Amino acid sequence: MHTATEERLIRPARNIFGSLRLPGDKSISHRYGMLAAFAEGVSRFSNFSTGADCASTLACMTQLGASVERKGDGLVEITGIGGHVGQPGAPLDCGNSGSTMRMLSGLLAAQSGEFTLVGDASLSRRPMERIRRPLEAMGARISLTEGHAPITIHGGPLKPIDFTTPVPSAQVKTCILLAGLQTPGVTTVREAIRTRDHSELALRAFGARLERNLDAGLNAVSITGSQTGTETGAQTLKAIDAAVPGDISSAAFFLCAAALFPGSQLLLEGLGLNPTRATLLDALTALGVRIAVLNLEEKHAELVGTVQVTAPENGLGGTEISGSLAAQLIDELPVLAAIAPWSRGGIRIRDAKELRVKESDRIALTVRNLRAMGAEVTEHEDGMDVPGGQQLHGATIDSGGDHRIAMAFSVTALRATGDTLIQGAESAAISFPEFFDLLDFVAER
Ligand code: S3P
């Protein structure tokens, strides 16, 4: 059971105005951190994620033999283990991080030995069958606890597979690719809906060879692996230096906050704009927000740019998010739902059942908290309907210890009548410890 430890009072704002540079993307930091720790040599990253989730990845990799030095100001230096994982003396603690647990399971399945991965109460409720199935098909033995963590991995030499993911999940895709990296032969992952491709880009940046086929209906990624230590040089990852782009999923809270206030203006510099992550910009455009992208560049194949947003003077329109859009916007749906009452046409969300198995049941919590603020909302098994044209009042919000719920309702609170109390506000630090300070910085009161 989660116990709320910190409450935050959010006062209404008049407008959102300013310019920000956000800490590094969580998804990219996990991957750079994990691959650098597994690679040969010393990698250096600037603007590495400051969130607790990525710290969990680094702590696990340290237990496996890598060395990690935080040099301050977002600089992280990682000395890798050159593909040879050490036996940890204790279970690997993934904290609240599904990415750490699922991706690391793939990396470890191909290593000889027994590894136990544990997580906090929320992570211990999340589905892990989705990684057990492909890893067992490759020959690893994976023991779950009623489909969940703790996970015990009996790893060793694997055989390649051709696997189609049953749910769109970049974590599952990455899990299989990291096992495939260390498995002789061609391992292929296919997905019906294209998920974020940071692993593919990061693996290439670290020197791995992989093939992508994006045309054939099912997006396919193939990696030709080699067993660690058997074919010297083949698929050995090599250290890199990189700047992590600003996190667009953290930016989502500020973009949506700006969208709430007619005439607001916000500039976000150095933001990650990978097309598999930037769907939010399309959703906001569909709602009538004006978005300009400036200074676009590519860093290790990740797009980075400056985003300028201006909210429409006549308020937001309405939109529907379903099908592949729902999968691509999965982390941004709570905050989009939370601003929907102030749109004219409302927001209808479908095909987002995965929201129920995130850090919390995000459909249930979003609906409950919107209702606490006086909103009319209809809950569906795979989404919700939030009608537009509603004015909400301040309320006590139960974040359920879920960072994205805490931040989404802090945004809604800016337009509510009266103050809002966010319970479990400390959870924002899972992805974005600076969130409340930066929100205060751009919110004009
Ligand atoms: C992530 C993938 C998504 C996303 C999560 C981060 C990643 O999860 O919701 O916040 O970094 O690969 P799924 O793989 O479960 O869809």
Segment 359-371 shows an average pLDDT of 98
Which range among 36-45, 208-217, 227-236 shows the weakest confidence by mean pLDDT? 227-236
Residue 3 has pLDDT above 60, yes or no: no
pLDDT of residue 215: 74
Segment 224-245 shows an average pLDDT of 79
pLDDT of residue 1: 44
pLDDT of residue 217: 72
pLDDT of residue 216: 66
Residue 67 has pLDDT above 70, yes or no: yes
Please count the residues of the chain. Answer: 445
Q: Is 170 in the pocket of ligand 1 (CB under 6 A)?
A: yes
Question: What distance in Å separates the CA atoms of residue 11 and residue 8, rounded to the nearest whole number?
Answer: 10
Q: What sign results for the dihedral spanned by CA atoms 26, 28, 31, 36?
A: negative
Segment 42-49 shows an average pLDDT of 98
What spacing in Å lies between the alpha carbon of 327 and ligand 1's midpoint?
A: 10
Which range among 124-133, 161-170, 225-234, 309-318 shows the weakest confidence by mean pLDDT? 225-234
Q: Is 412 in the pocket of ligand 1 (CB under 6 A)?
A: no
Candidate of 105, 197, 330 to mutate for ligand 1, largest count of ligand atoms within 8 Å of Cβ = 330
Q: How confident is the model at residue 218 (pLDDT cuts 50, 70, 90)?
A: confident
Q: Is 331 in the pocket of ligand 1 (CB under 6 A)?
A: yes
389 DSSP 8-state letter: S
Which range among 223-237, 249-263, 395-409 shows the weakest confidence by mean pLDDT? 223-237
Average pLDDT in the chain: 96
Segment 1-5 shows an average pLDDT of 54
Segment 168-191 shows an average pLDDT of 97
296: amino acid identity, one letter: L
Q: Is 27 in the pocket of ligand 1 (CB under 6 A)?
A: yes
Question: What residue owns the CA closest to ligand 1's atom 16?
Answer: 169
pLDDT of residue 214: 81
Q: Is 330 in the pocket of ligand 1 (CB under 6 A)?
A: yes
User: Is the omega angle on the peptide bond into residue 150 within 30 degrees of 0, that is, cis?
Assistant: yes
pLDDT of residue 237: 96
Segment 366-390 shows an average pLDDT of 98
pLDDT of residue 4: 47
Instruction: Please write the tens of the pLDDT for every residue from 412-425.
Output: 999 999 999 999 99
- Tell which atom from ligand 1 comes closest to the C-alpha of 102: 14
What spacing in Å lies between the alpha carbon of 99 and ligand 1's midpoint?
A: 6
CA count, 13 A, side-chain hemisphere, 12 = 13
Question: What distance in Å separates the CA atoms of residue 77 and residue 97, rounded to the nearest whole number?
Answer: 21
Q: Is 360 in the pocket of ligand 1 (CB under 6 A)?
A: no
pTM of this prediction?
Answer: 0.97
Q: What sign results for the dihedral spanned by CA atoms 400, 405, 411, 412?
A: negative
Q: What is the dihedral of CA 168, 205, 24, 97, to 10 degrees?
A: 40
What spacing in Å lies between the alpha carbon of 170 and ligand 1's midpoint?
A: 6
Q: Which residue has the tokens 């003396």?
A: 89
Residue 228 has pLDDT above 50, yes or no: yes
Domain annotation for the chain: domains and CATH numbers: 7-24+245-444 (3.65.10.10), 26-243 (3.65.10.10)
Question: What distance in Å separates the CA atoms of residue 110 and residue 154, rounded to the nearest whole number?
Answer: 9
Three-state SS for 102? helix
Burial classification of residue 298, based on how many CB atoms lie within 10 Å of its CB (0-12 exposed, 13-18 middle, 19 or more buried): exposed
Residue 371 has pLDDT above 60, yes or no: yes
Burial classification of residue 7, based on how many CB atoms lie within 10 Å of its CB (0-12 exposed, 13-18 middle, 19 or more buried): middle
Residue 232 has pLDDT above 50, yes or no: no
Instruction: Please write the tens of the pLDDT for every residue from 77-133.
Output: 999 999 999 999 999 999 999 999 999 999 999 999 999 999 999 999 999 999 999
- Tell which atom from ligand 1 comes closest to the C-alpha of 196: 12
pLDDT above 70 covers a percentage of the chain that reads: 97
Check if 402 is active-site: no
Catalytic residue among 25, 120, 197, 331: 331
Candidate of 25, 26, 27, 53 to mutate for ligand 1, largest count of ligand atoms within 8 Å of Cβ = 27
Q: Is 365 in the pocket of ligand 1 (CB under 6 A)?
A: no
